[in-house]
């Protein structure tokens, strides 16, 4: 079974990659490929849902980054989509190692995910 079907992480881009990293670390590997970008068959729909979630969490920042993306890729400031995906990877590692996601106040992932 693939990670996205096993844990139901569609919309939390990076989370499955974090789980994969933790599993490979436990197995004695020196790291792990970022699962979501290269192996997840739901990467496109997941990224779309991820962007919707980020826009709810940080509406002004997401709107500004979207505006900047239409002009050029931003080189300064925080990109909320990448920022939240990085947190998702961290939370995936936490879950993959048997802990709960990190408390991020309103952005905290509730795991296990609702079906």
End-to-end CA distance of the chain: 17
Domain map (residue ranges) of the chain: 7-96
Specify the residue for token string 């931003």: 74
d(CA 82, CA 13): 9
pTM for the whole structure: 0.81
pLDDT digits (tens, 9 = 90+) for 60-83: 999 988 887 777 665 566 688 888
Average pLDDT taken over every residue of the chain:
86
């Amino acid at each position: 079974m693939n990670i996205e079907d096993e844990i139901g992480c569609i919309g939390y881009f990076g989370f499955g990659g974090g789980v994969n990293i933790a599993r490979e670390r436990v197995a004695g590997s020196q790291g792990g490929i970022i699962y979501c970008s290269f192996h997840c068959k739901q990467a496109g729909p997941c990224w779309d849902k991820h962007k919707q979630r980020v826009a709810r969490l940080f509406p002004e920042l997401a709107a500004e980054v979207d505006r900047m993306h239409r002009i050029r890729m931003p080189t300064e400031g925080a990109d909320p989509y990448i920022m939240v995906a990085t947190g998702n990877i961290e939370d995936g590692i936490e879950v993959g190692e048997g802990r709960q996601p990190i408390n991020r106040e309103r952005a905290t992932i509730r795991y296990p995910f609702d079906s």
